[in-house]
Structure 1
Amino acid sequence: MSETYDVVIIGGGPGGYNCAIRAGQLGLKTACIESRGKLGGTCLNVGCIPSKALLHASQMYASAQNDFASMGIKVGKLELDLAQMMSQKEEAVDGLTKGVEFLLKKNKVDYIKGFGKIAGKGKVEVTGLDGKKQTLDAKNIVIATGSEPTGLPGIEVDEERVVTNTGALSLTSVPKRLILIGAGVIGLEMGSVWARLGSEVTVVEYLDRILPPADAEVAKEAQKVFKKQGLDFRLGMKVTGVEKLKSKLKLTMEPAKGGDSETLDADVVILAVGRKAYTEGLGLENIGVTPDKRGVIQPVDGHFKVADGVWAVGDCIPGPMLAHKAEDDGAAVAELIAGKAGHVDYNLVPSVVYTNPEIAWVGKNEEELKAAGVEYVKGKFPFMANSRARTNHETVGFVKILAEKGTDKILGAHMIGVGVGEMIAEICVAMEFGAASEDVARTSHAHPTLSEAVRQAAMGVEGWTMQM
């Protein structure tokens, strides 16, 4: 008989490999199954990591084109080497996937390449990449299979001309005309990359605003900035189809509230209308579990347990579909299995859009607080008045902090500006400890730094901003 594992994890993405590493650290006999053939999941292979490599490289290219001369830096003829840009992206991905594999080995986790399926209570059937099957016995099974792009009726994805984030990260040439369906995080990041590299980008969005989860004031400011960067927005439009012609694509759309249809021509269309949990074919019916129409599994304990001895993390359960949320889920589940405390506060999971400028937020936004009838006070500070931002010529955006009226407890923070993806962590820590805005306002920040804008916004809650 085969040896029984304490934990068998299906999926080697951020949720899965963090769960595996933590379980190994806690002395649990652990196996991690991954069907991709490489660890890291969507995030590391075709999501967070490669997109950031292209965002960084494309921003350097755009800066050399548009900003260097004004700072006294003269360059010769500037050329784009797209093949090399893609190559350095792959080098980063390859190094990180090997790093994850090393960490599993270091923590004595068995890494099994194949497709895992729950065959019954305590049983996981694995179909290897070579087609051979084996069954693992497990005291605990963790579902960490992540998510996949959501499709739209009338649109056939081929990952060459009509692409998801996967194809958008591997285009072999810069499309002259690019249409982006969806004005969410993934879409705006991909649109930014290709706009910087020379594409004419049109963003088609069903809603009447961009970035639906973001604070409305931040989203409005972001749209102004992106428009200046060359993105053309068609809001309140429903895409009804994409026709593939020999020399071009023809996208058909109509007003979401009704009206005459229109067509747009494109060389490439990126479909970025959201994601759905990847839970099909996992044998959930064998343990009496039925996911919802988006593939999401509802935990029976309100946290991570979905059946006796079966847990789920990351995109497979409710909560923000973010890699760092999955990481936290994975570690928490490993700790719960080991008999320790494990918990994740989803209200304190930050969101970041890695455009230029970046957009970041945590906690409640103004619209949510108003809808809930919560009285709050707002402090806001523009980067235009920040010394470091002025010297860096990066003055777009602001920091806004929302605190509960009466108690001054921080309820949320919303930022748009260069580097705010790093700055949001300060507010996450403050909120984790139940801090008041005054706590941040009275914490010394080095001068001159961009992070002073966070302190000044906190000062602004009680009306004692010190800078311009």
Structure 2
Amino acid sequence: METFDLVVIGSGPAGRRAAIQAAKLGKSVLVVENRLRLGGVSVHTGTIPSKTLRETVLNLSGWRERGFYGLAYRVKKDIEGKDLGARLRMTLDHEIEVLEHQFARNGVRTLSGKARFVDTNHVAVTTNEGEETKIGFGAAVIAVGTAPYRPANIPFNDHSILDSDSLVAEPRVPRSLTVVGAGVIGIEYATIFSALDVPVTIIEPRDTILDFIDREIIEEFTHEMRKRGMTIRFGSKVDHVELDEQGWAVAVLTDGRRIRSDMLLYAAGRSGATADLGLENCGITVHDRGRIKVDPITFQTNVRNIYAAGDVIGFPSLASTSMEQGRIAGLHACGAAMPPAPEFFPYGIYAVPEISTIGLTEQQVRAQGIPYENGIARFRETSRGHIMGLQSGMMKLIFSLETRKLLGAHIVGEGATELIHIGQAVLNLGGTLDYFVENAFNYPTLAEAYKIAALDAWNRMPRDIPLAPVADAETEDAPVKKAK
């Protein structure tokens, strides 16, 4: 029986970072992946496929050029599923090749198979050939990610009624689409297919969407969705789904309404992929759809030498934060010093248009009783926005009136997930409004929106304002007076 300093179960963002971090500290590391190829949910069915699909759709549909050439403009007239799938496969192959090279370069061993805990220091791995291997470990990191939630009242057939995994497995362009669930995944796919001019209906039982995002940004985003013809049914709950005689999906709502579409995507939640891990054998309990509770600083479970990181521990379930969680877990498992975690990290939602945010929302600032002022910039106000033909997009900055520090940055529009990093740096370094006002930004860029939004806030903030000089009766000198 082989024994490793660290065994990592799962090779997604959290697992790969934990493994590579431990290997760089000189530890022996084994990564167990139950798929035939490395990459985890992120590479095979999650982050990489959905973002690749988005980029493919925006390129082939000519979406970014419609501000100039009209709503009917397309780069490719008839876009089919094979057009979407070709780029997905190319991207997936590249990501796996990069990951395999990283593991090889850092001396990380890999084993394909299903891992199951035997006790707090051993796992049994069943390979794809059916052989079982027992592995010993000093520490372990659980990074198995999540799987789509599939309730019994939804007759999934992976063609007309599917989840996000089956959608990217064999992508096709439907004549119409119903999306059940207006979370991050549902919103991303709904807006991606809408960019292909597919009629889209979103069904959401709550009265709001994406509650962790600033409400003004969501109002702008919702307006954009409705402006392009998307139907959003808030406060509506699906009772069950059925197939009609033509094979189309029919969502039957609790109020009796029936919504018929060529394709129905069920995106109302995900569950931790922990059912077959044998967690009961090492004393780890799961909660909330199979998710694992951990220490928020070290990512230790209730068993001291077993850690968990990534989507399997729940919110925020972002690839970026999962990477950091895995890295920190790897550091702590190896007894290495951990850097202090930043107070704020960015969220990125790759819808059409993108949403990205960091720091406090206006609602949070009000709840904390912090005196503040907002600044707004519209992308169409920038020269770069004109050049790109942008008709929408906005940036919102929130500043403290007492310290002038940036409290939050919120963006909806083209390039939001890239632009947010300027706000991230200023926020985490304690920067103020003056940074944006006094520094030059490349021209023309969308980043100029930071200066526009900061000046918008500055215009309404109390300050000492120099008045025009008043001539003195006895001298021609003009003393400058100030007023509050």
Deviation at 1:105, TM superposition (A): 1.1
Match of 2:404 among 405, 408, 415: 408
State how far apart, in whole Å, the 1-side matches of 2:64 and 2:387 are: 19
Aligned match of 2:478 = none
Determine the structure 1 residue equivalent to 2:263: 268
The answer to whether the Cα contact below 8 Å between 1:123 and 1:135 also exists between their aligned partners in 2 is: yes
CA distance in 2, matches of 1:370, 1:76: 46
Structure of larger gyration radius: 2
Does residue 1:288 correspond to 2:287, yes or no?
A: no
Contact 1:365 1:412 in 2 (8 A): yes
CA-CA distance at 1:414 after TM superposition: 0.8
> Shift of the alpha carbon at 1:346?
7.2
Stretch deviating more after TM superposition (187-196 or 27-36): 187-196
Q: 1:76 and 1:282 mapped to 2: Cα distance?
A: 47
Between Structure 1 and Structure 2, how many residues are aligned? Answer: 458
Distance 1:76-1:310 versus aligned 2 partners, 3 A rule: closer
Matching residue of 2:117 = 118
- Pairwise CA distance, 1:320: 0.5
Instruction: Tell me if the contact between 2:84 and 2:171 (Cα under 8 Å) persists in the aligned partners.
Output: no
Q: What's the secondary structure of 1:176's corresponding residue?
A: coil
Distance (Å, rounded) in 2 between the aligned partners of 1:69 and 1:101:
43
How far the C-alpha of 1:324 sits from its partner, in A, is 0.9
Rate the CA distance shift 1:149–1:342 in 2: closer, same or farther, 3 A: farther
Worse-matched range after superposition: 137-146 or 397-406:
397-406
Report the counterpart of residue 252 of structure 1 in structure 2.
252
Matched letter for residue 317 of structure 2: M
Letter in 2 for 1:253: L
Residues 7-406 of structure 1: pairs in structure 2 closer than 5 A: 7-63=6-62, 67=66, 70=69, 78-152=77-151, 154-171=153-170, 173-247=172-246, 248-254=248-254, 260-300=255-295, 302-306=297-301, 307-342=303-338, 345=341, 347-406=343-402
Q: Offset at 1:458?
A: 2.9
CA distance in 2, matches of 1:6, 1:151: 37
- Secondary structure of 1:169's counterpart equals helix
Letter of the 2:373 partner, please give it. V
Where in structure 2 are the equivalents of 1:427-442 lying within 5 Å?
427-442=423-438
Deviation at 1:279? 2.0
* Letter matched to residue 429 of structure 1: A
Identify if the C-alpha distance between structure 1 residues 246 and 26 changes in structure 2 by more than 3 Å, giving closer, same or farther.
farther
Change over 3 Å in CA distance of 1:89–1:269 after alignment to 2: same
| Shift of residue 422, structure 1, vs aligned partner | 0.2
Asked if 2 retains the 8 angstrom alpha-carbon contact of 1:68 and 1:74, the reply is no
What residue ranges of structure 1 are gaps of 5+ in the alignment? 255-259
Deviation at 1:66, TM superposition (A): 6.7
Alignment deviations for residues 156-205 of structure 1 (CA, whole Å, 9 cap, x no partner): 32322211111222445422121011122211221222223342211111
1:156 & 1:75 partners in 2: Cα distance?
Answer: 35
TM-aligned CA distance change 1:371 to 1:75, over 3 Å: closer
> What CA distance in whole angstroms lies between the structure 1 residues aligned with 2:277 and 2:76?
54
Q: Deviations over 1:235-265 (max 9, x none)?
A: 11011110123412211113xxxxx321111
CA drift at 1:343: 5.0
Whole-angstrom CA distance in 2 between matches of 1:330 and 1:445: 35
Q: Which moved more, 1:320-329 or 1:196-205?
A: 196-205
- AA of the residue aligned to 1:100: L
Q: Is the contact made by 2:80 and 2:172 (CA closer than 8 Å) also made in structure 1?
A: no
Equivalent in the alignment of 2:471 = none
Alpha-carbon distance in 1 for matches of 2:27, 2:166? 38
Task: Name the CA shift for 1:57/1:220 in 2 (closer, same or farther; >3 Å).
Answer: same
Matched, 1:444 2:443: no
Report which stretch shifted further, 189-198 or 221-230. Answer: 189-198
Paired letter, 1:249: A
1: CA distance between counterparts of 2:414 and 2:231?
22
* AA of the residue aligned to 1:178: L
Rounded Cα–Cα distance in structure 2 between residues aligned with 1:66 and 1:99:
32
Instruction: Classify 1:344/1:358 alpha carbon distance in 2 versus 1 (closer, same or farther; 3 Å).
Output: farther
Offset, 1:92: 0.7
How far apart, in 1, do the equivalents of 2:18 and 2:10 lie? 10
RMSD of equivalent CA atoms: 2.4
